[in-house]
Structure 1
Amino acid sequence: MIFAGQVQPPERSLSILPWLVAVALFMEQLDATILNTAVPTMSASLGVEPLSLKSVLTSYTLSLAVFIPISGWMADRFGTKRVFSLAIVLFTLGSLLCAVAVNPPMLVVSRVIQGMGGAMMMPVGRIALVRSFPRSEMLRITTYVIIPALIGPLIGPSLGGAIIHWFSWRVIFLLNVPFALVGLWLARAHMPDFRDPEAAPLDKSGFFLFGSGIALLSYVLEVFGEHTLSPLTLTVMTLISLGLLYAYWRDSLKTQTPLLAMHLFGIRTFRVSVLGGFITRLGVGGMPFLLPLLYQIGLGFPPWQAGLLTIPLALAAIGMKVISRPLLAKFGHRQVLIVNTVLLGVTITLFTQVQPGTSIWMIVPLSFTQGFFSSLQFTSMNTLVFADVEDREASKASSIASTGQQMSASFGVAFASMLAAWFLGNVNQTDASQVVPALHHAFITMGSLTILSSATFWGLKSSDGDNVSKHHAPATAT
């Protein structure tokens, strides 16, 4: 749907638009995965415990969750082209500040600035795709976008390990700059300028209530298990955060144009994909944070070797993107999501078999399997989100879906770190004999949660998502 005063982008821009969005996603994925391998080295450089650096990871994803809700409004109000370009500039500025950070607090603030840019970059790019291509093309376009972007996770960990081995960890953040310049050039030339001249005013009270509630809840998850705050303080902060989120929910019911369009949860495919995806990502989201700790502290591998062990995961993810379309076309979203979620959870628990002395040739196929199931899971959920959403609601749906994804990613890292800290207790976090059993217990908990989350997809009908997957469910007998 094209709003008043707008025209369909020219054919050349349509062919380049997926690449432009892929560049944005590439930067985000490279930045996230390249940093995971660097956590042990960064903690030693900054003089802090490895698990305490989770705030450097979660501050970015939390910033995404807080600012994504206004990205749809900004795109409608100021146009996708202007907002997307501003997002790239902010992301690059945050990267440069990270590179010169002298302590963890400065690094956290710089990551928040990065998150502000990322919060606008991907959702606005997704809005442009949804408004530029028909629904029947979205699975093909999504696959087309994701495959180049998966190069980030493919080279990120190993590249991060190599940088840590030969240079300073600060060089990691400078890698974003050339890609940002390319993205900015493509955005100015080929990003369509969709906007809604009837965009409503920003829901300021909703933004305050939701943002502060999510930020406080994420902080509680981060410090829980570190024994830095009393149980009473943690309880009070948790109740306040939940109270703020409840106040937002009540306020959204009375506001004509709320920050997050909660009425979209009345659409079954949207509701199940967002809520089910949130729960699933809680179990999966902490794996990129815990695995480098297992490989480097638990198994004693150097950063570059630990990074290489993640390459099979990324290769499997790329391979799955190629075959996900025929799988969804044959079995449909419901069957794929139910079965694949269970298999993904089982794979997470199998990492309990990785311990000192474990052969690399056992780790490689296990990593490959995790990447295979993770890729299929996220492709299925992401393509189902917009299956029954009207074009006019695309920006609102994108804001909610992206917010849910980033919240679950942030909470997933915090949850995984909380579990690891809980099972570790007050022991030395660099002692392999203590770290490995604690991480194994965390894997069991996270895998079990993922398996249980498969129940959220039982609410789908066998025909849900057929307009995206081109799957045709057999007619039921009457």
Structure 2
Amino acid sequence: MPRTAAETTQVVRFRAGAQYALLAGPLLTMLDSSIVNVAVEPISRQTGTSLPTVQWIVSGYLLALGTGLVLTSYLSRRFGTIPTYTAFLAAFTAASALCGASSGVRMLIAARVLQGLAGAPLVPLAMSMLLGGSGGSRRMSPAAGVLLFLGPALGPSIGGMLLGAIGGGEGWRAIFLINVPIGLLAVAAARRLPANLGPPAQPAARPDLAGLGLLAVGLVAVFYGVDRITRGALTPPATWGPIAAGVAVLAVYAVRSGRVAHPALDLSILRQGSVALAFTLCGAASVAAWSIVFVVPIFLESGQGHSAFITGVALLPQGIVTGVGTLAGAGAAARIGVRPTVLGGFVLLVASSAGLFAIGAGTPLWLTGLILTLRAAAVGLVITPLVLVATEPLRPEQQADANTAFNVVQRVLGSFGIGVVATLFTQRSAHVGQVPALHTVAIAITVLAAAAAVAALFLPDAQTEDLLAATSKQGSGA
């Protein structure tokens, strides 16, 4: 007799320690992708180092992420998901301690590279476990959606408050050292994770060295070009040359991966239309969310004259609301379906992004915070249903590759969006001032959100239970 969706779907319920272990690592690495942006200028001033040199604190981390993501799928297969996650979590914690104890900028840049290498696998590995592990089809934990956007949203807030609260020129060390006790507790908690959260180790697994090389070269080239854009360099070939070369190498890998038995990263999942669309829409949400998170702190501090501490406090609600929005998105997808939930989220994103036009030189912080909070709620609303669409059709053994590919898309598009928007804001500010520059950015983000809303019309018109039932039916061979 066929089983119902309710009977075939297992609900993941984690103990508090397991939740902490799986959330702490990804949140730390995502925080560190944006928290340092507010510390670049203080580090430059305190160490007497030029800004272009100090920028490599951000750039080194970004480039190392590409290499770390490439290794994620193979290492999780070879050594098992939980041991790999725990090892990288410990390495990230140690690298954070090195960053905080650095005696100079060169040592700090080297430690940030290690931090990026160790931090890259944490998000895809944690998502694999939060999305159901190896125990068959399970209901997705909304916490997985929080991982994608809460960290970057909170980064500038926490960074600004730490710099403002500690002061004395050494406040930048705190943004790294704060990771250490959190990371150590997470490592201890990770040792008690249930073994069935991830597929077992496959000691016989062999690395696809050629594939790993192509992915590493392609991603590092793309991230390097994106970093050049963030620095305001839009002139080829210094910027667009590496991006074009990286995309070409990645295209070669994509073709090759379909012709080998065990590719470094299985991209066959993207042949499913709904999965590819969910990836794309999450990428659009990344650009819309992270680019504004990068630009608005600059505007509030240099355009309106607020301190880093006050700016951090003003931006804090958007980070919290992002997490609440992911929970609301999970409930709405279960009640009214994926398509209307995501469409409603993007429509709200269009309206709230247009609200950025209301921000001027004298706009009170509470109004700016309200507009940003509405945008955060909209982004949070779309994430959980999109992650569900992208991952539910997949078998448990495909989850590691899917989550790695998902994070590659998120990182590349999010970083690219930040680079383009930051350069647009900087160049427009130099010619017409910061308020018109912010409004130009608002136009770009609003148009992007509107295009995503149109694309959302092609998502599956199904409720959560329907997707889970279809997945269970496919898995049973019915």
Which category of TM-score, normalised to the shorter sequence, fits these structures? 0.7 to 0.9
What is the CA–CA distance in structure 2 between the aligned matches of 1:42 and 1:126, rounded to whole Å? 33
TM-score for both structures, normalised by structure 1: 0.83
- Offset of residue 40 of structure 1: 4.2
Deviations 1:285-329 (A, max 9, x none): 222211110111111000110000112212322432443332112
> 1:156 is matched with which residue?
158
Q: 1:402 aligns with which of 407, 416, 419?
A: 407
C-alpha separation in 1, matches of 2:113 and 2:399: 26
**1:168 is aligned to 2:171:** yes
**Equivalent residue, structure 2, for 1:121:** 122
Change (3 A) 1:95 1:443: farther
CA distance in 1, matches of 2:249, 2:158: 37
CA distance in 1, matches of 2:150, 2:434: 35
User: Which residue pairs with 2:111 in the alignment?
Assistant: 110
Q: Deviations over 1:256-286 (max 9, x none)?
A: 2222211111233322211221233123222
Q: Is residue 244 of structure 2 the alignment partner of residue 242 of structure 1?
A: no
Instruction: Tell me which moved more, 193-202 or 457-466.
Output: 193-202
In structure 2, the CA distance between the partners of 1:228 and 1:113, relative to structure 1 (3 Å rule), is same
Q: 1:147–1:120: structure 2 CA closer, same or farther, 3 Å change rule?
A: closer
Q: CA deviation at 1:372?
A: 0.9
Alignment of 1:291-370 (within 5 A): 291-370=296-375
Tell me by how many angstroms 1:29 deviates: 4.0
Q: 1:411 to 1:101 in 2, by over 3 A?
A: farther
Distance across 1 between alignment mates of 2:145 and 2:235: 47
* TM-aligned CA deviation for residue 14 of structure 1: 5.8
Matched-pair contact (CA < 8 Å) for 1:386–1:394: yes
User: What amino acid is aligned across from residue 116 of structure 1 in structure 2?
Assistant: L
Distance 1:215 1:164, change over 3 A: farther
1:4 maps to what in 2? none
- Deviation of 1:156 after TM superposition, in Å, equals 2.1
Q: Residues 340 and 373 of structure 1 are in contact (CA less than 8 Å); yes or no, is this contact kept in structure 2?
A: yes
Matched residue, 1:3: none
Partner of 2:100: 99
One-letter code aligned to 1:379: T
User: Residue 189 of structure 1: SS of its match in structure 2?
Assistant: coil
- Report the Cα offset of residue 468 of structure 1: 6.0
**Alpha carbons of structure 1 residues 300 and 149: separation in structure 2 relative to 1, 3 Å:** closer
TM-score by length of 2: 0.83
Q: CA shift at 1:420, angstroms?
A: 2.3
Asked whether the equivalents of residues 352 and 440 of structure 1 are also in contact (C-alpha less than 8 Å), the reply is: yes
Moved more, 21-30 or 326-335: 21-30
Shift of the 56–408 alpha-carbon distance from structure 1 to 2, 3 Å rule, reads: farther
Partner of 1:420: 425
- Whether 2:191 is the aligned partner of 1:188: answer yes
How many Å separate the matches in 1 of 2:299 and 2:371?
A: 14
Question: How far off is 1:59 after superposition?
Answer: 4.2
Q: State, as a whole percentage, how many aligned pairs show the same letter.
A: 20
- The residue that corresponds to 2:75 in the other structure is 74
Q: 1:156 is aligned with what amino acid?
A: I
Aligned twin of 1:84: 85
Q: 1:298 to 1:46 in 2, by over 3 A?
A: farther
Task: Measure the CA separation in 2 of the matches of 1:342 and 1:332.
Answer: 16
* Deviation (angstroms), 1:223: 2.0
131-140 vs 20-29, which moves further: 131-140
Task: Show the counterpart of 2:181.
Answer: 178
Label 1:450 to 1:47 Cα distance change in 2 as closer, same or farther (>3 A).
farther
Partners in 2 of 1:223 and 1:444 — Cα distance? Answer: 23
Q: Tell me if the contact between 1:295 and 1:306 (Cα under 8 Å) persists in the aligned partners.
A: yes
Closer, same or farther in 2 for the Cα pair 1:146/1:441, shift >3 Å?
Answer: closer
Q: Within 5 A, what are the aligned runs for 1:424-463? A: 424=429, 434-463=433-462
Partners of 1:97 and 1:311 in 2: CA distance:
27
List runs of 5+ in structure 2 lacking aligned partners: 1-11, 471-478
Point out the more displaced range, 253-262 or 433-442.
Answer: 433-442
Shift of 1:55: 5.3
Distance in 1, matches of 2:380 and 2:324, equals 9
Deviations along 1:367-417, whole A, 9 cap, x unmatched?
A: 221221121122222233211111121212121112222222322322222
* Matched-pair contact (CA < 8 Å) for 1:222–1:418: no
RMSD of aligned alpha carbons: 3.5
Aligned partner of 2:140 in structure 1 is: 138
Structure 1: runs of 5+ lacking an equivalent? 1-10, 428-432, 472-478
Q: Any idea what SS the aligned residue of 2:202 has?
A: coil
Aligned-partner residue type, residue 60 of structure 1: Y
Q: What CA distance in whole angstroms lies between the structure 1 residues aligned with 2:140 and 2:166?
A: 39
